[in-house]
Structures are given as structure tokens and as C-alpha cells.
Homo-oligomer: A and B are copies of this chain.
Amino acid sequence: MTSTADAPRSPGRPRSVRADEAIIEATLDLLAEGSTIEALSIEAIASRAGVGKATIYRRWPGKDALLLDALRRLKGILPQPAGHSVRDDLVLLVGAVGHNIDPRAAKIMPCLVPEVNRSPDHFQLYQNIIEPRRHMMREVLRRGIRIGELRADLDVEVTMALLTGPMLIQRMLRWHPELDDLILPERVVDAVLEGIRAR
């Protein structure tokens, strides 16, 4: 293959971006089709994406780094709280819990649960995915405390579990068949706020 580095760029996205996307897509397709994280190989991803293994290793140091990018893609970009009302920001973030923009997520995310429990590496991968989201919720709660809207003695970490848990069990397990996903974020936030709002 001759180098095209000096040739004028063809229109559309650069080839390297197209390869990145093909690799991410191949990873998600294989997971959605039932591959476990453990069974997933760089070889299978390369073959599915129509690239060589070296192309993958030039971009990602290994499978876990690639998985992290792929799973983050699945979850979509982080919602951005507006920063005006603590309640509105919490409703936004709680509504994003367990919400994925990609339909493959419904097949992939529940299957991560057993893997998270089996392997410390996968547990770390899971933590790497959710920590930026937890961080964002933590900041909203801290701001609420600072501006006096929330109780000063609030346990921020327990409060995050209170806000996140109901949505996650509902979206991951349909824990209660009659709870409505759409109104649940507001209901959860209002119920929790009643307990944490400064009086």
C-alpha cells in the first residue's frame, strides 16, 4: 500500500475517522449479538470492521480501552445541567440514568452485570463509564448545598444512590412493571428533595 499522506484529501471525513467508527461499530455489533466481554477478541473486531489488527492497536492500547470508548458511545454524550434550578438539573441527570441512545444498549448493558461481578478489570471498566456521570450529579448536589437549597449535612454519596437506584433497577430490570419510566425521574427527584431540601 502506498502512502497517501501527501496526496490531496478526498472529500468527506478522513479515512482514519471512518476506521475509528467502523471499529467501534464492530465492537458494539459483536456485543449486541451476544458475545461476552471475555470472549470478544481484537481479531474478531478487526475482521468485522474490515481492518487489520494493527489498525486497532495504533488507536487503542488494548481491548479494555476500546471497550471503554465503545460503551461510552453507547450511552451517548453526557447531559449538561443548565445550572439554574437544582431540581431541574437533577431531573435531567436522573432521566439519563440507564438511558442509552443506541438500541443495541438494551442487549449489551444488562449482560455487563454478571461480567462486572466476575472480573476486577470489568468492574473497573464499569466504574470508568459511570464515574463521569456520578461526578456530574455530585456537583449539582454540592452546588445545592453551597447555595443553601439543600441541607448542609447532606450525605452526597448516599443521595446519589437514592437518585440513581430507582431509575437503574427500573430500566435494567423493569423492577416494577407498573412504574412509568417517563414520569419516574420527576417523582424520584421530588420525593428525594422533600428529604434533603433545607428548611
- Measured CB to CB, the residues of A under 8 A from B are 106-107, 110-111, 113-114, 116-117, 123, 126-127, 130, 134, 155, 157-162, 164-170, 172-179, 184, 187-188, 191-196
Task: Report A116 CB to chain B, min CB distance, Å.
Answer: 6
- Point out the residues of chain B lying under 8 angstroms from A126, CB to CB: 173
- Point out the residues of chain B lying under 8 angstroms from A164, CB to CB: 165-166, 169, 175
With contacts A123-B174, A165-B164, A169-B165 taken as known, whether A191 is within 8 angstroms of B113 at the C-beta atoms is: no
**Dominant secondary structure of chain A at its interface with chain B:** helix
Q: Which one of B114, B157, B169 contacts A161 once the chains associate, using CB atoms below 8 Å?
A: B169
With contacts A165-B167, A166-B162, A188-B158 taken as known, whether A113 is within 8 angstroms of B179 at the C-beta atoms is: no
- Point out the residues of chain B lying under 8 angstroms from A192, CB to CB: 162, 191-192, 195
Task: Report A124 CB to chain B, min CB distance, Å.
Answer: 10
Task: Report A199 CB to chain B, min CB distance, Å.
Answer: 9
With contacts A130-B175, A191-B196, A194-B195 taken as known, whether A162 is within 8 angstroms of B161 at the C-beta atoms is: no
Assess whether A161 is in contact with B166, with CB atoms less than 8 Å apart: yes
In the docked arrangement, what's the CA distance between A172 and B160, Å?
Answer: 16
Q: Looking across the interface, which residue of chain B has its beta carbon closest to that of A161?
A: B166
Q: Looking across the interface, which residue of chain B has its beta carbon closest to that of A177?
A: B127
- Point out the residues of chain B lying under 8 angstroms from A166, CB to CB: 158, 161-162, 164-165
In the docked arrangement, what's the CA distance between A158 and B113, Å?
Answer: 24
A–B complex contacts, Cβ < 8 Å, 21 sampled? A107-B117, A110-B113, A110-B114, A110-B117, A111-B113, A113-B113, A113-B173, A114-B114, A117-B173, A126-B173, A155-B187, A157-B178, A158-B166, A158-B187, A159-B191, A161-B165, A161-B184, A162-B162, A162-B166, A162-B191, A195-B195
